[in-house]
């Protein structure tokens, strides 16, 4: 019966004619689906915040569905709570139509997730043996090997290792909360990760560790105690980071300035003027925090100006599974994905030397293939795989290692989405790495077979 309730927001919005009402029903529908699915999964057990329905679904549909509210408010003619222009009715209608596809994909995702029938885990296959500095050693080791693999045909492994390294660094800080004698070392190491991420100009390099640390705290201390600390930190982060990150990115990426010069530039008081921060924050909230405006362009283009792609995008996804050293002439996945953005008007390059990059999100590629049919099939499989990998990793390695570390290291793409080329490739090799990682951990004596099995 709950399968039908997943599609209730979509059915209501599908028969609603007013664009503003339709959008709001779809938007609140995704919030309802997140809350309802967590309730269904956890009604007889304690909340576990690394459960994919909480963290992974929250990240994916928070980004895909919930953040579009700022663009919607902008198109209504508001900047924050101030009216500055007339509503853009054409874009609001397009936005309502797009949000309808999103809430449909969300229902399909949960349909697939609950379609997987897992058995109760009575005991895990391996038990974990964590020493005082195990997480620190794993983080440092992963960073070293990530740098080594960059120079080999297996450079893709570097992305998994970098995420794993970051997660282990945050885990080390979380571990130190119960082992205070390593707290200062853990805190300094975490701080170094944040500083390096900050100076890279990539917001994700600082936001992800913060969110992951917050989830550790929620798992340890519960909602009320953690929220008192974590929510103000996140609000302060989003208040300052759009402006500060813009300065850092411009200095590091385009002016080739070093860390000392960048930090010196951030001392300029003009950067922190209220009007400048307010303007930067609104631009960030309406354009960079959400890809809804780009998704509008894909839906406006296909199939009106360009026919559905059929199996073409799926073919590119499957081709991405073949390593380049086995197929040297293979088309670059970045090129094929970006070409779809260009030919559908989601990305406009102003000159041959314009290096702006943009690739379709998962829902865009699903829609452009066959419309509702491919959205249904893609997100049915998507949700099923999320639950399958979650169950497999918990069964083998338990919640602390299997779910909170390996699931988010090997299958981070399932928490943020991506073009089919990236989604197919990363998920496939992530599955293979489950078994390779298990073998490595056994050799390092981090895990050992559970004698009770």
Q: Which residues have a Cβ under 8 Å from the Cβ of 401 and sit 6 or more positions away?
A: 128, 441, 446, 447
Boundaries of domain holding 81: 2-449
The whole-number pLDDT of residue 80 equals 82
**Phi, psi dihedral angles at 42 (to 5 degrees):** -120, 10
- Residues of the chain falling short of pLDDT 70: 1, 122, 349-356, 451-453
Q: Which of 147, 198, 191 lies closest to 169, judged by CA?
A: 191
410 close to 434: Cβ distance less than 8 angstroms: yes
The whole-number pLDDT of residue 353 equals 54
Structural domains in the chain (count): 1
- SS3 of 83, please? strand
Helix count and strand count (H, E) for the chain: 20, 4
71 close to 290: Cβ distance less than 8 angstroms: yes
368 close to 378: Cβ distance less than 8 angstroms: no
411 close to 428: Cβ distance less than 8 angstroms: no
Residue whose tokens read 């994916």: 60
Q: Which of 57, 51, 66 lies closest to 218, judged by CA?
A: 51
Q: Quote the CA–CA distance of 57 and 62 in Å, as a whole number.
A: 8
Q: How far from 3 is each of 119, 379, 380, CA to CA, in Å?
A: 19, 14, 12
The whole-number pLDDT of residue 358 equals 81
CA terminus-to-terminus distance, the chain? 36
Q: Quote the CA–CA distance of 400 and 167 in Å, as a whole number.
A: 12
**Which residues in 310-336 are b (16+ Cβ under 10 Å) and which e?**
eeebbebbebbeeeeeeeeeeeebeeb
The whole-number pLDDT of residue 288 equals 83
The whole-number pLDDT of residue 269 equals 72
Residue whose tokens read 């229902």: 107
Q: Quote the CA–CA distance of 318 and 425 in Å, as a whole number.
A: 8
The whole-number pLDDT of residue 1 equals 63
Q: Quote the CA–CA distance of 420 and 374 in Å, as a whole number.
A: 12
DSSP 233-293: HHHHHHHHHHHHHHHHHIIIIIS---HHHHHHHTT-GGGG-HHHHHHHHHHIIIIIS--HH
Q: How many CB atoms lie within 10 A of CB 183?
A: 14
Strand 126-128 to 447-449 pairing: antiparallel
Conformational region of residue 371, where left means phi above 0, alpha means psi within -120 to 50, and beta covers everything else: left
Q: Quote the CA–CA distance of 138 and 54 in Å, as a whole number.
A: 26
């Amino acid at each position: 019966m709950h399968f039908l309730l997943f599609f209730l927001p979509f059915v209501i919005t599908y028969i609603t004619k007013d664009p503003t009402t339709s959008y709001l029903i779809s938007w609140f529908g995704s919030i309802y689906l997140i809350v309802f699915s967590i309730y269904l999964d956890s009604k007889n057990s304690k909340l576990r915040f690394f459960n994919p329905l909480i963290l992974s679904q929250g990240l994916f549909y928070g980004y895909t569905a919930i953040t579009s509210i700022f663009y919607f408010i902008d198109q209504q003619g508001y900047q924050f709570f101030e009216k500055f222009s007339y509503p853009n009715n054409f874009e609001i209608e397009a936005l309502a139509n797009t949000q309808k596809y999103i809430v449909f994909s969300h229902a399909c995702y949960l349909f697939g997730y609950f379609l997987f029938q897992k058995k109760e885990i009575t005991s895990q296959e391996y038990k974990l043996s964590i020493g005082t500095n195990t997480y620190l050693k794993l983080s440092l080791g992963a960073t070293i090997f990530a740098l080594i693999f960059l120079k080999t045909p297996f450079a893709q492994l570097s992305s998994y290792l970098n995420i794993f390294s970051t997660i282990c660094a945050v885990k080390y800080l979380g571990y130190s909360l119960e082992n205070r004698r390593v707290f200062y070392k853990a805190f300094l190491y975490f701080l170094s990760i944040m500083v390096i991420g900050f100076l890279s100009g990539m917001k994700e390099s600082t936001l992800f560790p913060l969110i992951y640390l917050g989830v550790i705290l929620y798992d340890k201390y519960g909602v009320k105690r953690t929220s008192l600390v974590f929510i103000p930190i996140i609000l302060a982060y989003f208040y300052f980071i759009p402006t500060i990150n813009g300065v850092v990115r411009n200095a590091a990426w385009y002016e080739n300035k070093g860390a000392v010069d960048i930090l010196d530039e951030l001392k300029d008081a003009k950067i922190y003027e209220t009007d400048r921060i307010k303007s930067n924050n609104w631009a960030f909230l309406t354009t960079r925090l959400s890809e809804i405006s780009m998704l509008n362009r894909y839906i406006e283009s296909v199939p009106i100006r360009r026919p559905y792609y059929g199996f073409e995008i799926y073919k590119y996804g499957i081709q991405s599974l073949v390593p380049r050293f086995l197929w040297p002439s293979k088309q670059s996945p970045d090129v094929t994905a970006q070409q779809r953005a260009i030919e559908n008007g989601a990305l406009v390059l102003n000159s041959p030397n314009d290096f702006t990059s943009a690739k379709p999100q998962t829902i865009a590629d699903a829609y452009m293939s066959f419309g509702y049919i491919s959205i249904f099939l893609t997100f049915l499989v998507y949700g099923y795989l999320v639950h399958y990998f979650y169950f497999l990793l918990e069964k083998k390695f338990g919640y602390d290692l299997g779910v909170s570390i390996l699931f988010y290291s090997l299958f981070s793409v399932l928490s943020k989405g991506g073009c089919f080329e990236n989604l197919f490739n990363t998920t496939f090799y992530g599955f293979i790495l489950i078994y390779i990682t298990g073998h490595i951990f056994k050799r390092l004596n981090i895990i050992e077979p559970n004698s009770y099995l």
